[in-house]
Structure 1
Amino acid sequence: MDLTTTAAEPARAPSRSSTIRRHYPWLVFALAFGLLLADYMSRQVLSAVFPFLKAEWTLSDSQLASLSSVVALMVGLLTLPLSVLADRWGRVKSLVLMAVVWSIATLVCALADNYPQMLAARFFVGVGEAAYGSVGIALVLSVFAARRHAALSGAFMAGGSFGSVFGVAAGGVIAVHLGWRWSFATMALFGLVLAVAFSVVVKERRNAEYAAEPTPDVAFRAPISTLFTNPAVLCAYVGSGLQMFTAAVLLSWMPSFFNRYYGLAPDRAAGLAAVIVTLVGAGMVVCGVITDRVGRSEMARKWTAAIVFCLISLVALGIGFGLSTGVPQLILLGIGAFFAGGSAGPTVAMVANLTHPSVRASAFGTLTLANSLLGLALGPFVVGVLADSLGLRDALRITPVVSVLAIAALVLGRRMYPSGLRELAAVHAVAPH
């Protein structure tokens, strides 16, 4: 009920303007989420056409992996500086420019005639996608109340997995029926259409009007160094990045795994891999909800939830890749995939909870950097190099071991969490009131 309504007045129906006000944040989320799907569709469509490129250009597994890892590498290197620039220049304009750059670069991939040309095009895909995740989530969270932030973060990050599903599944079907070049062209056109829609609907001034929280006092900005001096935050960065190693390997190499060891045609292999990737995304959402519930009364329990998710993934994938092909292996791989990205939501929540609002966008950029360098870039490339000497199956058997390191980092972060809160309180204490 409106605060101006008195006991003598009947409650009035919500005005059209109030309805628009309620819906606008969700429209921002929907369009930002759509562009995230386009981001990962352009990134992961490559996995669906691995068999075609390998046969047509006679590429090694390490060369194929480099085409995937160069994108994640550029994301890792450029996320933080581009996030800072976006905060200064304007998030909406920055996001639209990013989408245009990665979409045009993806279109260039469709025109590539050899490995060097494809590598150069993929380089610019990475440049365009570099800061989208951190700037996009910062934009979304800015128009929602804080009580929704954890759920929105998990759902937004899961968009990467869902985009990977669509990219791999659709890319495989298109490649079989129209040729691999059309796989890239389709993803590029989808991204350009969404970029136009985003630029028309989402406006900086309107976002400021709908902001759920007041903007931090511009007279005080916490030092950027606080992103790296809080030990608990560092543990969250490292734990998230190392666990992302496993998720990245599943995103990149499952189409090739099913093609080589299950004898499936590229389109069917991509379809089965899409199921695995869908489970990764679904796990991010479900595990995020579970984490919010168990951590409602005690925030430290979110660390414990992340640790448990990593442990389940480690056991399921470790046993699954060790089995021979068949239904038991597929079941275990599905379980492992579901929990492989389960720590994503909890670690985002921890980073947000341990950093000052004035540098939170940069904190998300740093988290993205860790996810990219330790996981998304390193994972596919390391497995590709190992596959050249050991074979893809044996390379994948080794992959889950990295989760042991992720668990160690998260356990350490949980122990340091109280001191991390004290450090954050000290930063708040020096801010003007």
Structure 2
Amino acid sequence: MQENSTAVLPKTSPYSRYALALLLGVNLLNYIDRQVLYAVFPLIQQDFALSDTALGLLGSAFMITYMVSAPFFGWLGDRWSRTRLAATGLAIWSVATAAAGLAPTYRLLFAARTTVGIGEASFGTVSPGLLADFFDRERRGRILSLFYLAIPVGSALGYLLGGVVGQHWGWHAAFLIVGLPGLLLVLPVWLMREPLRNPGPVPEQNAATGRGSYRSLLRNRSFIANTLAMAAMTFALGGLAQWIPTFLYREHGLGVAAGNTLFGGLTVVTGICGTLAGGWLGDRLQRRTPKGYLLVSGWGFLLGAPAAAYAILTPSLYHCVGAMFLAEFFLFLNTGPLNTVIINVTPPAIRAMAFAVNIFFIHALGDAISPTILGRLSDLWGLRAALLSTPLAILGAALFAILCCRTIEKDMERAGQ
């Protein structure tokens, strides 16, 4: 298929900034709709009389569909209009989120959250590469850090809106309120001009079939190590994001609205500061060494792990909040750098596929399983003990980031960077 409205656009043009703002807005809704479920966990559990394991499956259902759908959309994103794929995904997940607000049973809620994963996979595989083509590679760390500000801000808004709306009007209303606004942005994304893709070096003659592209990614040691680092991080962050509001509710006696407001506020402040700092530090260090982005991420993991462990173990709410602030700040340092590494070590012609493979594995090994695993561990040993698995995963992420430093320079050269 031929791309629609493909254009050669000057880097950092007013239209490039418009594209950044629009895609950032969509990504913001992406994470609001994704995280609102966790804000109303206690309410859903009471309504349907669920175990922690069944509750965790709601989070895993989204992630499993998200990761399974990603390779298909990655293949399609390298061959068709990325803007139309992004717009279609936005429409699907917005309708599915609103439908969750109308679900009268656990099974229908499960089905709605499963469908949300399909829509978000379409957007998630094509949007980073699409955005990268609007800007020069020297600014990618900062640009992607701005784009991924949606993670802390959207997550925080999901917790805040879900907690407040859920406590006053019920969890059904929370899904309806956050799901419907996305439909307003479907048309602007559909009509957005797409920058001309630099075809870059094609790894093999049969790359058009996809087989050569996948094989080249599996031989790319930096891509593999970086993906494993992101998978370990995603395991930890997925478990913490899903269970910390419930942890504050059970272990520290905070109400649904108060717990989600506290956690949401922490997330938005630390997320903005950590994500912007990570992008700025990564770009500065990258000018000195090809390992710059990885050094920022690795040190963030090493500093964040003990802070997360203390936040879980301390019986004091004040100490818990302080340690959680430090843990989130250091973990958010990696958001822009690790995603920029994917772009830097893969040729532009297979970038959507690279993000699709990355999405599949970081969720297959990460937050597709961590919510249910933590739920099962919580049923066996209690929630506090279950959450202690997350600092160990963070240390694993640091190890893979360090391993990636050994191969990053050669793989960047092969990718034509």
TM score, norm. by length of structure 1: 0.87
Q: Return closer, same or farther for 1:24/1:46 CA change in 2, 3 Å cut-off.
A: same
Counterpart for residue 217 of structure 2: 227
Whether 1:264 and 2:254 are equivalent positions in the alignment is yes
Whether 1:250 and 2:240 are equivalent positions in the alignment is yes
Equivalenced residues, count: 402
Deviations 1:295-323 (A, max 9, x none): 22111233222111100111111222111
Tell me how far 1:87 sits from its aligned partner: 3.0
Residue pair 1:383, 1:399 contacting (<8 A) in 2 also: no
Tell me how far 1:355 sits from its aligned partner: 1.5
Residue pair 1:111, 1:181 contacting (<8 A) in 2 also: yes
Counterpart for residue 5 of structure 2: none
Superposed, 1:345-360 pairs within 5 Å as 345-360=336-351
Cα distance in 1 for residues equivalent to 2:318 and 2:324: 10
Farther off after superposition, 232-241 or 358-367: 358-367
Residue pair 2:92, 2:119 contacting (<8 A) in 1 also: yes
Residue pair 1:243, 1:341 contacting (<8 A) in 2 also: no
Cα distance in 1 for residues equivalent to 2:12 and 2:394: 43
Superposed, 1:403-414 pairs within 5 Å as 403-414=394-405
Cα distance in 2 for residues equivalent to 1:228 and 1:21: 33
Deviations 1:350-390 (A, max 9, x none): 22222222112221222222332222222222211211111
Tell me how far 1:46 sits from its aligned partner: 0.5
Structure of greater Rg = 1
Tell me how far 1:214 sits from its aligned partner: 4.2
Q: Return closer, same or farther for 1:155/1:139 CA change in 2, 3 Å cut-off.
A: same
Cα distance in 1 for residues equivalent to 2:154 and 2:81: 25
Counterpart for residue 308 of structure 1: 299
Cα distance in 2 for residues equivalent to 1:194 and 1:160: 18
Residue pair 1:43, 1:68 contacting (<8 A) in 2 also: no
SS at match of 1:192: helix
Cα distance in 2 for residues equivalent to 1:69 and 1:329: 26
Counterpart for residue 239 of structure 1: 229
Residue pair 2:151, 2:271 contacting (<8 A) in 1 also: no
Counterpart for residue 45 of structure 1: 36
Q: Return closer, same or farther for 1:420/1:72 CA change in 2, 3 Å cut-off.
A: same
Whether 1:86 and 2:77 are equivalent positions in the alignment is yes
Tell me how far 1:419 sits from its aligned partner: 4.5
Cα distance in 2 for residues equivalent to 1:258 and 1:366: 35
Of the candidates 254, 267, 271, which is equivalent to residue 277 of structure 1?
267
Cα distance in 1 for residues equivalent to 2:152 and 2:367: 12
Query: Which letter maps to 1:144?
Result: F
SS at match of 2:257: helix
Residue pair 1:246, 1:403 contacting (<8 A) in 2 also: yes
Of the candidates 278, 281, 284, which is equivalent to residue 290 of structure 1?
281
Whether 1:326 and 2:317 are equivalent positions in the alignment is yes
Tell me how far 1:90 sits from its aligned partner: 1.0
Identity fraction in percent = 27
Cα distance in 1 for residues equivalent to 2:263 and 2:34: 15
Cα distance in 2 for residues equivalent to 1:180 and 1:231: 44
Counterpart for residue 46 of structure 2: 55
Counterpart for residue 377 of structure 1: 368
After superposition, the CA RMSD in angstroms is 2.4
Deviations 1:160-190 (A, max 9, x none): 2221111111111111222211110111111
Q: Return closer, same or farther for 1:285/1:247 CA change in 2, 3 Å cut-off.
A: farther
Deviations 1:104-135 (A, max 9, x none): 11111111111111111111011111131221
Counterpart for residue 5 of structure 1: none
Farther off after superposition, 260-269 or 19-28: 19-28
Cα distance in 2 for residues equivalent to 1:335 and 1:315: 10
Tell me how far 1:292 sits from its aligned partner: 1.5
SS at match of 2:135: coil
Structure 2 spans left out of the alignment, 5+ residues: 1-8
SS at match of 1:111: coil
Counterpart for residue 9 of structure 1: none
Residue pair 2:61, 2:368 contacting (<8 A) in 1 also: yes
TM score, norm. by length of structure 2: 0.90
Query: Which letter maps to 2:74?
Result: S
Residue pair 1:165, 1:275 contacting (<8 A) in 2 also: yes
